[in-house]
Structure 1
């Protein structure tokens, strides 16, 4: 999946009190995060979505749009948004994927269950997948680590010939791969 372009899709999302149509064209020209989760009204999912909501403003400042995706409908997303304080904080897109088209496009549909895996994809402005993370059912994700990956991907995109080492944080030294570095790190 890394370095492949996202496939065409169309879905209805709930965002800021409205239902809006979203397609792959909605992603063009900007950084995007697709944040798949199994289902609304569950246990780990709201903790992850709430954590992401708490970091949404900083992602927006970096030019990143967020699209959460489950196989629930946009109507269910609205009901959950209206009934949960944690989910009520969400200002990003909540895509309904009841056909499973988007979930299957990203290869994260659970066989025979009709539910998405816990999966995160970072997409660059050309629509190419730059990072992905998939965890087991009981393992929640961390929006701070996602933000670190966003910063690293944006840095690498803006600085050809440089790479970000493990645990890299914004402002720290990067590496310029070369023959001189082989065996020296």
Structure 2
């Protein structure tokens, strides 16, 4: 069964953000658009490149009313230590959520059980707490924040324009489609 259009499951976790430890729950994610990005582990190779890329685009996500949450099965203490020692991770201003029990990682179905690590999972969640985008990558394939930003804009557009859809490569301000019988076979 797909996670698309399902409600996020209850959870409670601790995150490192702005020099503090904060609680994060499913209620924290509701009421605004959220992006949850799972990654395998702190102090690794591809992960800091992805988190830094998101950090570089964070202000653009915030302008759209979107909060980003980075999640791994490390503890919030490990996130702080990584933040304190890595130039790439020092740029991160969004919460880094610790999931040492793997409960959150399992909720989003990205746990690699035999390793106790997460796959690279990306989830866009609407203000009602429904998952609108779900992408899961092999851990050797890094993600691109600019493409995620485009997809968030498309999800927000579709949510605010019922009856319209965004075609491939859609960019903000570009034409959309209104599915109808008249379009069948004409695209």
**Shorter-chain TM-score tier:** over 0.9
After TM superposition, the structure 1 = structure 2 runs for residues 79-90 of structure 1, keeping only pairs within 5 Å, are: 79-90=81-92
Alignment partner of 1:55: what SS?
A: helix
**What root-mean-square deviation, in Å, do the aligned CA atoms of Structure 1 and Structure 2 show?**
0.5
Give 2:27's aligned residue. 25
Aligned position for 1:118: 120
- 1:137 CA displacement: 1.6
Q: In the aligned structure 1, how far is the partner of 2:48 from the partner of 2:181?
A: 47
Distance 2:139 2:24 in 1: 27
CA distance in 1, matches of 2:7, 2:184: 31
Matches for 1:33-182 after TM superposition, within 5 Å: 33-182=35-184
Equivalent-residue separation in structure 2 for 1:169 and 1:28 (angstroms): 26
Q: Distance in 1 between matches of 2:140 and 2:118?
A: 13
Report the CA distance between 1:111 and its aligned residue.
2.4
- C-alpha deviation, 1:138, in angstroms: 1.0
After superposition, what is the alpha-carbon deviation per residue over 1:108-162, rounded to whole angstroms, capped at 9, x for unaligned?
0002110000110000000000011111121100000000000000000000000
Structure 1 unpaired stretches of 5+:
none
* Post-superposition CA distance 1:5-26 (Å, at most 9, x none): 0000000000000000010110
Post-superposition, which runs of at least 4 consecutive aligned residues in structure 1 deviate over 3 A? none
Q: Secondary structure at the match of 2:118?
A: coil
Partner Cα separation in structure 2 for residue 25 and residue 161 of structure 1: 29
> Matched residues in 1 for 2:45 and 2:145: separation?
17
User: How many corresponding residue pairs?
Assistant: 185
Gaps in structure 2 of 5+ consecutive residues: none
TM normalised by structure 2 equals: 0.98
